[in-house]
Amino acid sequence: MNQRTAPIEMQAENFRAIGHRLVDRIADFLDSLPERPVTRGESPPAIRETLNSSRLLPDLGTDPEKLIDRAADLLFDHSLFNSHPRFWGYITASAAPIGILGDFLASAVNQNTGAWFLSPMASEIEAQTVRWIAELLGFSTSCGGMLVSGGNMANIVCFLAARQAKAGWDVRASGLNGNPRLRVYCSKETHTWVQKAADLSGIGTENIRWIPTRNDLSMDTVQLQNQIRADKEAGDRPFIVIGTAGSVSTGAIDNLPEIARICREEDIWFHVDGAYGGFAAMLPDASPALRGLNEADSVAVDPHKWLYAPLEAGCALVRDAEKLREAFAYHPPYYHFGVEAINYLDYGPQNSRGFRALKVWLALQHAGRKGYEQMLSDDIRLAKRLFELVAAQPELEAFTHSLSITTFRYVPHDLKSGIDKTEEYLNQLNTELLTRLQNSGEAYISNAVLDGKFALRACIVNFRTSLEDIEALPEIVLRMGREADAELRPEELRIRS
């Protein structure tokens, strides 16, 4: 084996040719997004058939150019495009082109950012990215933090830091046995990550106190404080309160300064889930409720949401970096790093880590602070415009607008909402309408359930969406709503109307 040629190796000329062709195809693909359906709404069996999913792994290798071409065909023709200008479902962003290039470059250099000496420049770029994110949020720039896979992981990392910092004993060593119950506080609107965190940390989902919300869907902080005091009297140990900066369903913002005050008074860790709305704190006209996140002990934000980074990129920030290390670091004898710098494996559950920060670092500089302020403001303005359009349309009922989320539903003009049977039917009708809309490929929205009502929900974290796109949505909903109503309306509701 003097000269080894591994089956997976590619000569530079070959790599260059295939790579150039792929970049050309990606550029065409991005350019063609507005003309494509958001999705083709194909069924799982149809997708599997196209893929030939039951095919056995071939024994012999295949020409890489053919493989890349086929992969691009499969993905360009059979995906749901988050980057389409009319994608407003869930909270998944349109991907910044510079981020796409960043991921390509990161893979090429293939750094292991678990340890500084394995990734000197990449680790420092990650540290700078974390500091810039803290700056944008108005959070302490001396905080500890790192890039993780997304909002769930960012929140879970902060949650585990809180558990170790506030339990009052060494939970990492002793576990939870025989100690007071650790209690978690959050509003009923909190994202389901908190259940995973309570479960994975051994605390248990039954120890989550789901605090009721006010009319604006923010946490009722009076009930929060009462619950904390009652639990303390019963001998439990409240250790974390989670405030949400932009809830997943409606973009509702908890009163963060008030939660901060309660946490100070009660000596509890204050965590902010800003996975969706945290970045809106950068806006000059951000509400004080949102800006209060700068008082938190920890904050989770999600660059793959409102920084438009390609998946995956979440970010955990902890005010006191030492608390992250105390929650995660171990020093087995086979770690010999010998450099005084951040080793990210000390900050979280991962050991080997990829270079997620690069795409975020690039995008932050491509747009700059002002660019981001403009893009977030535009998204919010478009969601507000959608709310106005919906409110002005007699067959649509507008529910909420907060940050860049608007909720509403279709109500046929001859039906009055608020009557039992009608409400039941409206839920059925809007569920069917949503399924049709999602499968149509004309636009993509999702749903929320508000006080038992099934609502349509548009969430705009999409720098490609224009006013024209937003103005088209009410007409699409009306058309599909009327069609579905003509087919679904039960006899008893026809007679009454």
Ligand X SMILES: Cc1ncc(COP(=O)(O)O)c(C=O)c1O
Name the residues that contact ligand X, by CB under 6 A. 91, 150-152, 155, 191, 193, 244, 247-248, 273, 275-276, 302, 314
Nearer to ligand X, 123 or 250 (CB): 250
Q: CA–CA separation, 479 vs 2, rounded Å?
A: 70
In the chain the first and final C-alpha atoms are separated, in Å, by 84
Count of C-beta atoms within a 10 Å radius of residue 23 = 13
Nearer to ligand X, 115 or 275 (CB): 275
- Smallest gap from residue 151 Cβ to ligand X (A): 2
Q: How far is CA 65 from CA 50, 51, 112, 220, 397, in A?
A: 19, 18, 28, 58, 52
Nearer to ligand X, 273 or 346 (CB): 273
Shortest-Cβ-distance residue relative to ligand X: 151
Nearer to ligand X, 193 or 454 (CB): 193
Nearer to ligand X, 155 or 343 (CB): 155
Nearer to ligand X, 187 or 343 (CB): 187
Nearer to ligand X, 276 or 361 (CB): 276
Nearer to ligand X, 69 or 312 (CB): 312
Nearer to ligand X, 299 or 484 (CB): 299
User: Rounded to 5 degrees, what are φ and ψ at 290?
Assistant: -80, -45
List the structure tokens of 460.
Answer: 């705009």
- Smallest gap from residue 76 Cβ to ligand X (A): 24
- Smallest gap from residue 419 Cβ to ligand X (A): 33
H helices, E strands: number in the chain: 17, 11
* Residue 138 half-sphere exposure toward CB, CA atoms < 13 A: 17
Q: Which residues contact 362 (CB under 8 A, 6 or more apart)?
A: 98, 99, 101, 102
Q: Which residues contact 273 (CB under 8 A, 6 or more apart)?
A: 151, 155, 190, 191, 193, 242, 243, 244, 245, 300
> Which residues make beta-bridge pairs with 147?
315
> Which residues make beta-bridge pairs with 274?
301
Q: What is the 3-state secondary structure (H, E, C) of 437-461?
A: HHHHCCCECEEEEECCEEEEEEECC
Nearer to ligand X, 150 or 412 (CB): 150
Surface-to-core class of residue 433, CB atoms within 10 Å of its CB (0-12 exposed, 13-18 middle, 19+ buried) = buried
Q: Is 456 within 8 Å of 431 (Cβ atoms)?
A: no
Residue pointed to by tokens 């999702």: 446
> Which residues make beta-bridge pairs with 228?
none
* 357-391 helix and 467-488 helix, angle to the nearest 10 degrees: 60
Q: Is 327 within 8 Å of 163 (Cβ atoms)?
A: yes
Q: CA–CA separation, 293 vs 259, rounded Å?
A: 10
